[in-house]
Amino acid sequence: MSATPSVGRALPLADELSGVFARMSGLLLSEDTVERALSLLSALAQETVTGSSGAGVSLIDERNRRSSGSTDDRVRQADDLQYQLGEGPCLTAAKTRELIRMDDLADDQRWPTWAAAVAGLGLRAAMSAPLVAGNGSLGAIKLYAEQPRTFDAHSERVLTLFSAQAAILVANMQTAERARRLSAGMRTAIQGRDAVSMAKGVLMGRHAIDEDTAFSMLLARCEHDDIPLAEAARKTIGSSVRRGR
């Protein structure tokens, strides 16, 4: 019998967030850059959780920690202080994969150095939820408020559901971005290869030499001018055009 009321209470929350999730899912298709999409994601999080005065996303991996899409400078400063000090609710949420809520930064003693450092920013409450996709933690999404005890159990449930959907979005965006970078790199490599082939042809025709000798001449130009092979090839082709060949 006890399970039935909890299900009944969950349905309005799911209905409440259905429109949010629909807007969130459209970000991947509508935005050109990850940074822009994360900005809209942060704004959507602030709009969704009542009382929030700022929001942002922290992307954390083995190489760096960076904030993206922060809604204002205070959020960026609060996050930067976490990274500098190595402590704070966002870093802990990402590490433990658990939601962190700070009802009053002035009284909470879990991260006293960070709390004291952000005291001048006018932020009194904070809440961070991890972004977990598959077996990996991508970082965390965080909310700040100007009044203490702004967030409650309902806020936690909303942000937990929001972050679960956001993690899927962020993971998909990162995958798409890596694919675009790989595609650009492949295009560059192919263009460089084609330029080298053309340059060898230019040298073979100009000097009546074989392919190996032409390639050696290109390498010699690389060393002499201290430039990459593809650039040496493009310069060789350019000089041929100027000569009217």
Residues in the chain: 245
Q: Is residue 40 domain-shared with residue 139, that is, in the same domain?
A: yes
Say what the pTM is.
0.66
**What digits encode the pLDDT tens for the residues 90-121?**
999 999 999 999 999 999 999 999 999 998 99
Q: Is residue 176 domain-shared with residue 189, that is, in the same domain?
A: no
Which residue range is the domain that position 32 belongs to?
3-181
Contact 148, 122 (CB under 8 A): no
Q: Is residue 126 domain-shared with residue 30, that is, in the same domain?
A: yes
Number of domains the chain contains = 2
Q: Is residue 24 domain-shared with residue 86, that is, in the same domain?
A: yes
Position 46 pLDDT exceeds 90? yes
Q: Is residue 27 domain-shared with residue 140, that is, in the same domain?
A: yes
Please state which of the ranges 16-20, 48-52, 53-57, 220-224 shows the lowest mean pLDDT: 16-20
- Specify the CATH number for the domain of residue 194: 1.10.10.10
Position 145 pLDDT exceeds 90? yes
Distance CA 56, CA 140 (A): 9
**What digits encode the pLDDT tens for the residues 192-221?**
777 788 888 888 878 888 888 888 888 888
Q: Is residue 139 domain-shared with residue 233, that is, in the same domain?
A: no
Burial class (CB in 10 A: 0-12, 13-18, 19+), 85: middle
How much is the pLDDT for 3? 40
Q: Residue 41: which H helix or E strand, with range?
A: helix 34-48
Q: Is residue 8 domain-shared with residue 69, that is, in the same domain?
A: yes
Last residue of a domain, one of 181, 202, 228: 181
